[in-house]
Structure 1
């Protein structure tokens, strides 16, 4: 009887794996059809030029819904005209240099680079995970994974292999530890306790998209911080539950014979606790951070604070919020150097300069991507394509009566699906923001809210798409412990995280925003009104 049940279970699992494998193969095939994101934006630029010429020839237009210009026609401008060609030649450079995400991200990455190259961020992560009790190790790993997003790839390179080692050393399945860390780092990508480099990156694209409707609208890097802060704890708890209640029981007891004896992928991952000098460095860096926060508070908290708005005396619209990227730079760079000085990884200005240069050199591909993305966004704006598509899309939503909060479920689902094939957060938002930010503004929702919803969809499917840039690295680490593991097996392990994170995060979004009426960030609006904006 038992053997019959086992045979039935194996046949059922095989059927499920067959369907799931076909689905994954389709996703991978579709993703592989897409060119490199840089090439993709170059192609989009050419398509906008050609399409604007066709639309201009046929006089495509839409009625302007904005009160100040209500009823006037918004006409598609042709880039395949003398005026269009003159505009391209005159603005190609300024489209790039004035693009909002460019400068803010580069400034932020300089500070983060010092903290990363000094070893401070890795020591923080290792200390957090290695000092956790066996009962708290899972939730600590997921939590550390979410926080590690501040330092971009550090979580993938350090935490994921370390988590697998820790689980293995505790007699637990190493792939469960790997899955917990991967879920925190990648599926919880947009959640964080701190404002990191991804915030100015996305807010820059959102600002450019919002200005297609309202030329004065600005979205600061801090505008999703409240929601992303509380999301950190949600993801940590959900990741802990999925790991211990679903993934680890499904994996069962680990068989050491599955380990690849020839692999040396984790030889560079330290299982040692923090050394005395590292502890001293972290204490010194922590005290420095607190001192910087105290100094910053003096400039903002008192009514006479120098970084408050000089006209209104308030924090909203103040130099403090407009210059938040400067404080990201300072609060990473100075504690990072202090840590490096204590542990002797940084001794002088040359070491700091080398760290900043190394971090900047890693941004070469990003700057190439931004050049073409900036042209695409600028072309989209000058031709009025973004506005025309947004107005038509808003009209469709209004005609089917899909203008309430339910619209965000479909929007998040769409972002999650697109993310399966276009894994870059910046590339995806650069394409979708010029359409959906204006569209949802027209039906009454603020760009800050749209961006927060996008970040949910962009995060939860990272762990189940082979298009994600670090997916191959994670698969290689997993193969250290299960030598015959394939893409389908790894994605089947991660799929429960995607499903639970999606449901839980969407519920939190609706409760936080629509039930409790809480803003997604300091000074962030939930609704947008044309009447108030004009």
Structure 2
């Protein structure tokens, strides 16, 4: 009887997973999706303008009406601003610049060497924590964690007498499930902050979101998620998998070569030099990296964080390459930058269509209208009276938890973090700003929901690669194998991150430099 119940449960799970995969596969390419949505926005602008729909801007008290893009003026705007929409799209430049620097570090072998050093030198007793932790930190360098650490972790676990799939799962949990935690800023930070800034300016044209806006919360999350991933691996995954009975041969985990060690010494010297420059620039009251009046939060250091990412990654990568012998001329440096741009090709295509969609959405005033109407509904649901922004902290918490779950569900059928945020930010950021929640908080809540279901989403871009890695140790492994193995991580990560967020909000802690939890509308008199 018990066996029949288990089989029935497996059948239901398989049906659910099949439905998720079918729905996700039915969606068009994200770039095509944004092109379709841009057309939809144009059509809606015409319909809404004919219906005479309007709202009052809660800040300026101005009456906002839909702007009809199906008009001569609208046609002229779309034609004359096509290029400008693309080139001025906030996330485009910052992501490309950051990737140029990281491309040098990755191409020289610096990032790969650091990951191997971190994992290989760790004692057996803490290897699981180190693997998860290394996975989280590897997010700074985009896809290197997927292609290097995940298969390496399986080899290391196998060498230590543990099930290799447990190592693979631990690394995958850190790289993908811990995507919104890190000790350092990565390419995703300027990308999301640029989209958040665009969305916030629908309500407040002067609002800015800096790339380090979620840094404090991310930094703390790194340790909590690493511990949570270690717990799941040791207490759930390893016991469930049992002893490895496969025929995969033990592979040697290579230590760093003499040349690589020399390269790391060179890179360390350069990194320390940068640290000294930054400290000299911000510690003295008149430091050259401070802003007006000695400001640090609004200083050139914070505003130019992407520039620092580029220069530090590039110079450390070059130093490593010279020491390790992987960079022999300026051509090797340029090739590293070029390789990083090859991986950004489809992103640039996506941005072209996403930029048009965002611009149209902003021009038509549909974002403001949806935000105000949505805020009104949410205020009535949570029983808030009085002016916008007067929401109690206890009412805001369930609102954010609901947003986490919504994002997590959407992530099952739409894997791209930037594509989802391009769609969701123009609606939810202004809506929550009206309710008194900062764009930075909304962004970090989105990142939690996006991360926790990455590891069980067949739409995640590296999902097929993980299946291939698994099949090396289990020839029958498939999508169901990954999801059943990774689901405990999703549940525990969601629980841990939710508790951490609640604590953060209850104590009113800032989530990053110049990034409060609350937003106060600057309401102008009627």
SS in 2 for 1:530: coil
Structure 1 388/149 Cα, relative in aligned 2: closer, same or farther at 3 Å?
Answer: same
- Partners in 2 of 1:163 and 1:183 — Cα distance? 11
Q: Does 2:519 correspond to 1:528?
A: yes
Q: Does 2:398 correspond to 1:406?
A: yes
* Residue 12 (structure 1) shift: 3.6
1:185 to 138, 153, 175: 175
Which residue in 1 is equivalent to 2:27?
A: 34
- Partners in 2 of 1:87 and 1:40 — Cα distance? 22
Structure 1 42/177 Cα, relative in aligned 2: closer, same or farther at 3 Å?
Answer: same
Which residue in 1 is equivalent to 2:285?
A: 303
* Residue 253 (structure 1) shift: 1.5
* Residue 447 (structure 1) shift: 0.4
1:236 to 214, 220, 226: 226
What RMSD, in angstroms, separates the aligned Cα atoms of the two structures? 1.5
* Residue 533 (structure 1) shift: 9.0
Superposed, 1:138-217 pairs within 5 Å as 138-217=128-207
The count of residues paired between Structure 1 and Structure 2 equals 514
Contact 1:214 1:533 in 2 (8 A): no
Contact 2:98 2:306 in 1 (8 A): yes
Contact 2:202 2:368 in 1 (8 A): yes
- Partners in 2 of 1:410 and 1:121 — Cα distance? 37
* Residue 404 (structure 1) shift: 2.1
Which residue in 1 is equivalent to 2:306?
A: 325
2:58 to 33, 47, 65: 65
Which residue in 1 is equivalent to 2:425?
A: 433
Contact 2:129 2:227 in 1 (8 A): yes
Which residue in 2 is equivalent to 1:384?
A: 365
CA deviation string 1:125-181 (max 9, x = no partner): 011111111111100000000000111111110111011111111111111111000
* Residue 278 (structure 1) shift: 1.3
* Residue 307 (structure 1) shift: 2.0
Contact 1:146 1:188 in 2 (8 A): yes
Which residue in 2 is equivalent to 1:360?
A: 341
- Partners in 1 of 2:427 and 2:11 — Cα distance? 37
* Residue 281 (structure 1) shift: 1.4
- Partners in 2 of 1:196 and 1:159 — Cα distance? 17
- Partners in 2 of 1:528 and 1:150 — Cα distance? 29
Contact 2:509 2:516 in 1 (8 A): no
Bigger shift: 103-112 or 247-256?
Answer: 247-256
- Partners in 2 of 1:507 and 1:287 — Cα distance? 40
Bigger shift: 396-405 or 518-527?
Answer: 396-405
* Residue 232 (structure 1) shift: 0.7
Structure 1 13/280 Cα, relative in aligned 2: closer, same or farther at 3 Å?
Answer: farther
* Residue 10 (structure 1) shift: 4.0
Which residue in 2 is equivalent to 1:285?
A: 267
* Residue 358 (structure 1) shift: 1.6
Q: Does 2:449 correspond to 1:457?
A: yes
2:350 to 364, 369, 375: 369
Q: Does 2:434 correspond to 1:469?
A: no
- Partners in 2 of 1:305 and 1:117 — Cα distance? 34
Which residue in 2 is equivalent to 1:54?
A: 47
* Residue 201 (structure 1) shift: 0.3
Bigger shift: 329-338 or 358-367?
Answer: 358-367
- Partners in 2 of 1:54 and 1:334 — Cα distance? 54
- Partners in 2 of 1:457 and 1:388 — Cα distance? 25
- Partners in 1 of 2:281 and 2:300 — Cα distance? 10
CA deviation string 1:266-314 (max 9, x = no partner): 98xx72111122122112212210110111221122111122113x221
* Residue 518 (structure 1) shift: 1.4
Which residue in 1 is equivalent to 2:215?
A: 225
1:491 to 472, 483, 492: 483
- Partners in 2 of 1:173 and 1:182 — Cα distance? 15
Contact 1:231 1:505 in 2 (8 A): yes
Which residue in 2 is equivalent to 1:339?
A: 320
- Partners in 2 of 1:87 and 1:121 — Cα distance? 45
Contact 1:149 1:192 in 2 (8 A): yes
Q: Does 2:98 correspond to 1:108?
A: yes
Which residue in 2 is equivalent to 1:5?
A: none
Contact 1:76 1:384 in 2 (8 A): yes
Q: Does 2:14 correspond to 1:21?
A: yes
SS in 2 for 1:15: helix
- Taking structure 2 as the reference length, what is the TM-score of the superposition? 0.95
- Taking structure 1 as the reference length, what is the TM-score of the superposition? 0.94
CA deviation string 1:429-457 (max 9, x = no partner): 00000000000000001101110111000
Superposed, 1:80-99 pairs within 5 Å as 80-99=70-89
Contact 1:220 1:322 in 2 (8 A): yes
Which residue in 1 is equivalent to 2:391?
A: none
1:515 to 490, 506, 510: 506
SS in 2 for 1:444: coil
CA deviation string 1:311-361 (max 9, x = no partner): x22112222111110000011110111001000001222211111112122
SS in 2 for 1:256: coil
